[in-house]
Amino acid sequence: MFKSIHKIYFIVITLLFLFVKTNAQQTITRDSVVQLYGVIMTADSLRAIGGASVIVVDKGRGTITNNDGVFSIAVLKGDKITFSCIGFKDKTIYIPHHLQDNQYSVIQLMINDTAYLPATIIRSRPTREQFERDFVSTSIPDDAYEIARQNTDEAKRRVLINSLPPDGREAVNYQLRQQANKYYYAGQLPPMNILNPMAWAEFIKSWKRGDFKRKKK
């Protein structure tokens, strides 16, 4: 009896401890949420930067500024915030751990990120004849329409058919047709196509196309 009462007291105390711990964690989490808001501007002219990114590092969350450079996002105390925009250097700030209030405002100034390209020297052609010769001999790559026209050309398709090996589907279909013909004429001689006019017509077409010419290695 004493052991049962002791177990009941232990279970009740454990449940109370878990309840208090859960409420404390929820209170800490709720108190650590901070509403971060502010404006992003250029450092030299104080001009609002629209479309700038405000990213919470390692959290997968973020937002962007509106046309006036204003933003607002919910973060946690101690989060690392990165401000970035094309043409400006990235800036990183930290939300203070011991922030008394649940709101934090910032006016972030962005510095231009100047990219220096190598110098390009433009020179003219020495003579008009050289310019005309270089202009005529310039190789212009084919566009999509020309590439499609070449791929559908009959001569090129014939070359591809004769040079490329059959793929898996063609090989399987050929094998199935061979087996079907073998089973169809099982026990008898297959017909001779020497007197078949359709076979002769196909042979003449193949001969005109040059299918029987010896290929050069």
- At residue 28, the 3 state secondary structure works out as helix
Task: State the alpha helices, DSSP H only, in 33-143.
Answer: 128-137
pLDDT tens per residue, range 106-155: 999 999 988 888 888 887 767 888 888 888 888 888 888 888 888 888 88
Helices (H) and strands (E) in the chain, counts: 6, 7
Distances (CA, A) of 47 to 53, 107, 162: 16, 12, 67
pLDDT exceeds cutoff 80 at 29:
no
The mean of the pLDDT values for the chain is: 80
Confidence of residue 25 (pLDDT cuts 50, 70, 90): very low
Q: Report the pLDDT value the prediction gives residue 26, as an integer from 0 to 100.
A: 45
Q: Report the pLDDT value the prediction gives residue 9, as an integer from 0 to 100.
A: 52
Residues in the chain: 217
Domain segments of the chain: what residues? 2-110, 146-203
Looking at domain 2-110, its CATH superfamily turns out to be Carboxypeptidase-like, regulatory domain (2.60.40.1120)
pLDDT mean over 97-102: 85
